[in-house]
Amino acid sequence: MPADTTPTPQDSMPRVSDDWVGQFPRVEVPPESLAFFKENAPWAYTMATSPDLYSFLIPYTLPKVDTENTLLRDVLRPAGSIEHHICLYKPAAALAAKRTPYGEVLAIYALGSQANGYQDTAHGGIVSVLFDELLGMCIGCDKDVIAMTLEIKIAFKRRLTTPKVVLARGRIVKEEGRKLWLTGELVDGDSGQVHAVVESLWIVARDGSARLGYTKTDKGLSKL
């Protein structure tokens, strides 16, 4: 059976601002996520409401128009694997080590029990997906290109129990020609303990720059 690519009504488009972070429009953090974080993870609520961090649109939260982003949008999120997910951008000028042209992306994930491998333990494959999504966001925030994962190396440091709200941080560390190197870590937002770290190499596509494929309208975003 062919995939259902019927667009969701325009009114379900996220409310966006006129400001963009690279390829992504800035958006308000969903109130239901703010309420969840305030009750269950105060550190995440503090981050989500910080004026120094820019909340931006996560592409898979857009209405379905084709088969892109189906794993996250249609499988993991509805199943309760990812109950809440927001992305924040810290500009390079705000970083402690200011000798870099790249900013940092902070992704806050509320993982449910449907993300498990072993009992009450997040599956390593889920962690890999979260890292890959995070690093793609890093490129989208700092580079106007399409890029794909060439290599990804993950070291698992500590068991990640569920349900749990966790923080992922990622950034570009080097570029050379069409190659981009990135690093990141998945940490406990309260204690700072590291659950996993990632190193990854991406390759920029030859066919030019990238955009979301949406344009801003008075109702939000509209597919180009």
In a domain, 137, yes or no: yes
What per-residue confidence (pLDDT) applies to 147?
Answer: 94
Report the CATH number that the domain containing residue 64 is assigned in CATH. Answer: 3.10.129.10
In a domain, 3, yes or no: no
In a structure prediction context, what are the per-residue pLDDT tens digits for the chain, which is 224 residues long?
A: 444 443 333 334 556 667 889 999 999 999 999 999 999 999 999 999 999 999 999 988 887 778 888 899 899 988 889 999 999 999 998 887 667 899 999 999 999 999 999 999 999 999 999 999 999 999 999 999 999 999 999 999 999 999 999 999 999 999 999 999 999 999 999 999 999 999 999 999 987 555 555 555 555 565 55
In a domain, 4, yes or no: no
What per-residue confidence (pLDDT) applies to 207?
Answer: 78
In a domain, 105, yes or no: yes
In a domain, 53, yes or no: yes
In a domain, 121, yes or no: yes
What per-residue confidence (pLDDT) applies to 122?
Answer: 97
SS3 per-residue string spanning the chain: CCCCCCCCCHHHCCCEEEEEECCEEEECCCHHHHHHHHHHCHHHHHHHCCCCCEEECCHHHCCCCCCCCHHHHHHHHHHCCEEEEEEEEECHHHCCCCCCCCCEEEEEEEECHHHECCCCEECHHHHHHHHHHHHHHHHHHHCCCCEEEEEEEEEECCCCECCEEEEEEEEEEEEECCEEEEEEEEEECCCCCEEEEEEEEEEECCCCCCCCCEEEECCEEEEC
In a domain, 192, yes or no: yes
How many domains is the chain partitioned into structurally? 1
What per-residue confidence (pLDDT) applies to 223?
Answer: 54
What per-residue confidence (pLDDT) applies to 100?
Answer: 84
What per-residue confidence (pLDDT) applies to 129?
Answer: 97
Domain that holds residue 178: 10-223
In a domain, 55, yes or no: yes
What per-residue confidence (pLDDT) applies to 217?
Answer: 58
